Amino acid sequence: IIEMGQPEHSVVTTCAYCGVGCSFKAEMKGDKVVRMVPYKGGDANHGHSCVKGRFAFGYATHKDRIKAPMIRESITDPWQEVSWEEAINFAATRLKGIQAKYGRESVGGITSSRCTNEESYLVQKLVRAAFGNNNTDTCARVCHSPTGYGLKVTMGESAGTQNFDSVMKSDVIMVIGANPTDAHPVFGSMMRRRLREGADLIVADPRHIDLLKTPHLKKAQHLALRPGSNVALVNAIAHVVVTEGLEDRAFVEKRCDMESYEKWREFIRDERHSPEAVEATTGVAADKVRQAARTYATAKNGAIYYGLGVTEHSQGSTMVMGIANLAMATGNIGREGVGVNPLRGQNNVQGSCDMGSFPHELPGYQHVSDDTARAHFESVWGVKLDNEPGLRIPNMFDSAIAGEFKALYVQGEDIAQSDPGTQHVEKALRSLECLIVQDLFLNETAKFAHVLLPGSSFLEKNGTFTNAERRINRVRKVMPPIAGKEDWEITVDLSNALGYPMHYNHPSEIMDEIASLTPTFTGVNYDRLDELGSIQWPCNDENPVGMPTMHVDDFPIGKGRFSVTEYVATDERTNSRFPLLLTTGRILSQYNVGAQTRRTENQAWHNEDVLDIHPSDAEVRGIKENDWLGITSRAGQTVLRARITDKVLPGVVYTTFHHPGSGANVITTDNSDWATNCPEYKVTAVQVERVSQP
């Protein structure tokens, strides 16, 4: 794809990797991309970029791209290339037959946080209106669903409170379970700039992340907690705030629901939440916790940023609520420099949640049981809608194995590689009578598919992504779709073949429909996005150009609500058989399961996943650098090479999951968040021992 030479024209579009949502100028020669140049006018990145956005776009024209639709009767048959019409009719006939035989609840759809808002909107519309049920979900299920739940319960909106620029006004930056310099590099650099200017840093993470090595850092505190003890730690910090009188009483009395506050205060004051009482649980010295609590609570502006190290736990939602409690108790909400800020992993996690991809919520987080909201959608869509939430992704798997759920449409998500419990997922996929995969590549999920619909990369389509700061950015088509259709057109064709008519000439018309149905989007359309550059929702009559900082005067629920956040230890425990705790994460040059980045030059920088192990744990096992290691958990076994490093704590091992062979999801457990079923990827008890080369 990279042909050096003078570009003939350029198109401004948005990076399709992480939740920072950097704007780029795709410089073109004919319909070939010459280079991607970070766009100075980008509201999220101000002309900056990282190695993924700038260099890792070659996957779009990689030889592995599927260029024609394919079908097969059974998953043991070879693939057969067919026309679009034949593939769509094959899929529709199977879906209709399955619903006629097993009922309308027997089918469902999954969209991806990699897709545009318009594509995700259409998938959930297809499921609700054409399939006739609420069995729709998104891969946000396995990353930030606890954010959606926790922030909605406490502050009334399932989204972060700030824009990225806000960090430049923070005096204390608390980073919990996130590694921004690798996973959100452009925002990580912005954080570093603020830290160099003198802001204090508090990191709560089992790993010694690179942010702690920021040059000229004035003050850094590292709370190196044991995986799985987040809630105990945040409660201990809040305990110090309350018992040492560090609360912002004026804020609490003016902005928060006092009944919930008094109940929480009574709970958190209890001595069992003190840093000393939970020291053995968290592994963090009590005086360090006290110091961190004082630093955060007494800051003029204290901001919290968190990632999947918060959400991907059996208490992910509890932890999000614990963070919100802490921010409200200290008055760190409603102005620049403060807030509660989830760092979304994928480019459009926020958007896919906003678009109603979850089985219990219509677009704009309107619950399916809300009669008024449902009536609005029914009048625009011209169908009767179910008022009961449908199946979540893990329920779909269980139901498939039980023989009840029979067909699945998956758009842009490799569930066989990315979801936990690989054996269980594969068994579920094998049980389906029809699996329709819409993707760029023949991924791991496609091994179990009956229909393969070739998707389009971000360079081949129009649409929008919404980044971690609620910023809606335009995605603009720079080249024609390799297989002839943009993803939204495929969903439209499938719906029409099923007998539910959809007609759009351009994704802008889909956005117009979204805006007509979603109160926080009423002021969003493509003309305004072109004019303003980007828009941070809510954008409506009250906020005509969007809202950089949320909850300035009040919360969408009126008063902020405190939640009692009881710490409950995960079922996943270490013992003599499984004495170490495995946690997982990402590195700078690769991205998630690597489907894109492994097909670019970035592959050279990280061509295998390895296991990080502390020198003391390596020594007692006789492990040397680069030795092959067998990693065994209660769920399964995998083999990785050793990297000995004191970046991890003694007793903790760490790996990435960018390569199919890593087996990270073979060994993770089936524990999940109590409220949302987000898998507990971050805590797996394992044994590690040397093995001969696999």
Which residues form the interface with ligand SF4 (CB under 6 A)?
Answer: 15, 17-18, 20-22, 45, 49-50, 52-53, 184-186
The least CB distance from residue 113 to ligand SF4, in Å, is 13
Q: At closest approach, how far in Å is the CB of 19 from ligand SF4?
A: 7
Work out how close the CB of 184 gets to ligand SF4 at its nearest, in angstroms, rounded to a whole number.
6
> Which three-class secondary structure state does DSSP give residue 395?
helix
Cα–Cα distance measured from residue 296 to residue 149, given in angstroms and rounded to the nearest whole number: 25
User: For ligand SF4, which is the closer residue by CB, 20 or 472?
Assistant: 20
Host H or E run for residue 685: strand 684-690
Q: How far is CA 275 from CA 231, 239, 243, 281, 286, in A?
A: 12, 8, 12, 10, 5
Cβ-based nearer residue to ligand SF4, 190 or 437: 190
Least Cα distance to 54 among 40, 41, 38 occurs for 38
Min separation Cβ 561 and ligand SF4, Å: 33
Question: Closest approach of Cβ 81 to ligand SF4, in Å?
Answer: 33
Strands (DSSP E) found in 193-321:
200-204, 220-223, 302-306
Distance of closest approach, residue 348 Cβ to ligand SF4, in angstroms: 11
CB of 199 to ligand SF4, least distance (A): 20
Q: Report yes or no: 473 and 44 within 8 Å, Cβ to Cβ.
A: yes
Residue 54 or 360 with smaller CB distance to ligand SF4 = 54
What is the enclosing helix (H) or strand (E) of 310? helix 308-311
Nearer to ligand SF4, 50 or 91 (CB): 50
Distance of closest approach, residue 190 Cβ to ligand SF4, in angstroms = 10
Question: For residue 622, what are its two tokens?
Answer: 């006789």
Q: How many other C-beta atoms lie within 10 A of the C-beta of residue 280? A: 10
Looking at the Cβ atoms of 21 and 275, the one nearer to ligand SF4 is: 21
Using the minimum distance from each CB to ligand SF4, give the nearer residue, 52 or 392. Answer: 52
Whether residue 389 has a cis bond before it, omega within 30° of 0: no
By beta-carbon proximity to ligand SF4, the closer residue of 186 and 436 is 186
Q: What DSSP letter does each residue of 420-475 carry, written as one string?
A: S-HHHHHHHHHH-SEEEEEESS--TGGGG-SEEEE---GGG--EEEE-TTSEEEEE
For ligand SF4, the closer of residues 16 and 329 by Cβ is 16
Is residue 106 within 8 A of residue 407, CB to CB? The reply is yes
Give the nearest distance from C-beta 252 to ligand SF4 in angstroms: 36
* Phi, then psi, of 229 in degrees rounded to 5: -110, 20
Beta bridge partners of 304: 174, 340
Q: 187 and 315 in contact (C-beta within 8 Å)?
A: no
Give min distance, CB of 210 to ligand SF4, in A: 15
Q: Interior CA angle at 300 toward 296 and 302, to 5°?
A: 40
Please give the C-alpha separations between residue 20 and each of 150, 220, 345, 355, 562, in angstroms, as whole numbers.
21, 24, 9, 19, 29
Closer to ligand SF4 by Cβ: residue 525 or 592 = 592
Report, in Å, the least distance between residue 580 CB and ligand SF4. 31
Compute how many other C-beta atoms are within 10 angstroms of the C-beta atom of residue 509: 14
Q: Give the residue with the Cβ less far from ligand SF4, 22 or 123.
A: 22
- Residue number with CB closer to ligand SF4 (113 or 508): 113
Q: Which residue has the tokens 């204090």?
A: 200
Residue nearest to ligand SF4 (CB): 53
Q: For the CB of residue 407, give the shortest distance to ligand SF4 in the complex, in Å.
A: 34
Q: 18 or 142, CB closer to ligand SF4?
A: 18
For residues 261 and 249, the answer to whether their CB atoms sit within 8 Å is: no
- Report the alpha-carbon distance of residue 468 to residue 591 in Å, rounded: 17
Cβ of residue 406: shortest distance to ligand SF4, in angstroms? 37
Q: Are 510 and 123 in contact (CB under 8 A)?
A: no
Indicate the residue among 22 and 529 with the shorter CB distance to ligand SF4.
22
Give the contacts of 420 (CB within 8 A, at least 6 positions apart).
Answer: 142, 665, 668, 669, 670, 679, 680, 681
What gap in Å lies between CA 506 and CA 468, rounded to an integer?
25
The residue among 433, 554, 491, 524 whose CA lies nearest residue 101 is: 433
